[in-house]
Structure 1
């Protein structure tokens, strides 16, 4: 917050009320605060060094850091909602699906202070890519309902799906493999974000976990995402809806929905050419935005 002068900048909650970034606080014990400080210092060190250091980080450390931020935002959103409901004299009406997700996220955050081992697949997807960002870039997004997060700063971009058991990473594997090793233009990274944010919306499973606590370790195993109905894990991709998501991510460059889906079979892309091959950021003449 100090590096990007965010402390006193306004932050709009879902109820339209404003807070400053430094007012967003998450209560915890002194022991947890100490572990969070250690986590923050480790992440800050890697982020200041740049892409190579971030990409080499233990994925569980990155997951804990992002999960802590998103959980803190969720906590503040819920507190604001409770205050608003109390003023209206109504009981707090909270989605049981979201409550289920937050309970699981809280369980996974215990790995800060309790030894937890995830058996089988990890419960999240993390993507780190090099990005040719302008100096002092800080671009943060999250979506509470789907528990997805993105950050673009320094010379990298980070996308984290906090509770998908790796499904979104598999869903976009072909694109990730194609751009592997390439430095992206900011508009390319924002397109990648739009793809992940939209697929997180299409993800139609509510992950479940088996938990086995022992004296030495808590074992957590993600349960299979397949169910008896054999329904696909992701709902059908709708080009128009994706175009609306992409239009929002591309606001700094002013591309409209009409431009993006002018050819519905081949929506506008700066990641891939018309033959599905990766585009080099060198051929993109657009400004790098912010």
Structure 2
């Protein structure tokens, strides 16, 4: 029997009675898994740390859970977690050796878990006010495609000749106790800086950001970065993914028991560039947020509006070596 893709956004089903990934009916509403895996929370003491949702309510990391079938968890998600945990424990070299698709699935599952909690929180809030929960069609488009891609975890679903994501991985001279995490759910951008590495991933851009930042990435990808350098590169990617102006479309091709996903050309019918114009003042605002640990303000960052402050490259375009940067890690 051919595999069938589960589409929760068709009927907008975000109850705790069905598995978030497969749609299978659950035995109990308590059949759930943590959004942030226990091994990661234990490593950084995150369980009782505050996590702010978009509606301004505060949860803790351990409060964030998603309904999940015990079978799906045991057969697919736990083995993925175990593999990722082992790779992360080995640091940069371990993550470098990990299949990129596994990193994508792991990061995508985590971000989708946050999306699921945000939607549930939004539904509760609107119902308490006697109103229907509304969400834009473009956001539904993005979230439903991410969910479809995640089913490569539990279904024979294959990406035909493309990668749905851009992934950037670096060696970083981190403070070993620091948990550096950041996400932007509307653009589906995710960054994690722990151990001796940092990674940034755009979960649904069909590699557009990889191509956009290729020149800079090629120059620095083998270097050991200072955390402020990694945060600068992350700011560039988060901003460019905000400028990315396409909603990727896909063809779904069932072949026997397998499902193949084929990406439609991003250019489509539009002659418009894939990315809107880069504006240094706006980028400076993003960078100010990413550099909060070091206290740099927007006025300093864009003192020269044509050349915002950088710890990656000097004014002559030469790379700045991490060990020459005299800032706390």
TM-score by length of 1: 0.98
**In the comparison of the two structures, how many residue pairs are matched?**
288
Q: Which moved more, 1:172-181 or 1:215-224?
A: 215-224
Match of residue 4 from structure 1: 44
CA drift at 1:275: 1.8
2:143 to 102, 121, 126: 102
Unaligned stretches of 5+ residues in structure 2: 1-40
Match of residue 100 from structure 2: 59
Distance 1:116 1:79 in 2: 27
CA drift at 1:270: 0.3
Q: How does 1:181-200 map to 2 (within 5 A)?
A: 181-200=222-241
Match of residue 24 from structure 1: 64
Distance 1:19 1:127 in 2: 29
Residues 51-78 of structure 1, C-alpha deviations (whole Å, 9 max, x = no match)? 0110121011000000000000000000
CA drift at 1:26: 1.0
Match of residue 167 from structure 1: 208
Match of residue 247 from structure 2: 206
1:13 to 45, 53, 71: 53
Distance 2:164 2:315 in 1: 34
Distance 1:213 1:150 in 2: 33
Q: Is the 8 A contact 2:169 2:221 kept in 1?
A: no
Whether 1:221 aligns to 2:262 is yes
Match of residue 128 from structure 1: 169
2:284 to 234, 239, 243: 243
Unaligned stretches of 5+ residues in structure 1: none
CA drift at 1:21: 1.1
CA drift at 1:31: 2.1
Distance 1:136 1:55 in 2: 21
Match of residue 82 from structure 1: 123
Q: Which moved more, 1:196-205 or 1:258-267?
A: 258-267
Whether 1:265 aligns to 2:309 is no
Residues 177-209 of structure 1, C-alpha deviations (whole Å, 9 max, x = no match)? 010210000000000000000001000000011
TM-score by length of 2: 0.86
Distance 1:100 1:201 in 2: 16
Q: Which moved more, 1:219-228 or 1:152-161?
A: 219-228
Q: Which moved more, 1:190-199 or 1:267-276?
A: 267-276
What is the aligned-residue RMSD (CA, Å)? 0.9
Residues 79-98 of structure 1, C-alpha deviations (whole Å, 9 max, x = no match)? 00000001111111111111
SS at match of 2:142: helix
Whether 1:283 aligns to 2:321 is no
SS at match of 1:112: coil
Question: 4+ runs of 1 displaced by more than 2 Å?
Answer: none
Distance 1:3 1:134 in 2: 14
Q: Is the 8 A contact 2:280 2:305 kept in 1?
A: yes
Whether 1:157 aligns to 2:193 is no
CA drift at 1:30: 1.8
Distance 1:10 1:254 in 2: 22
SS at match of 2:59: strand
Q: Which moved more, 1:149-158 or 1:224-233?
A: 224-233
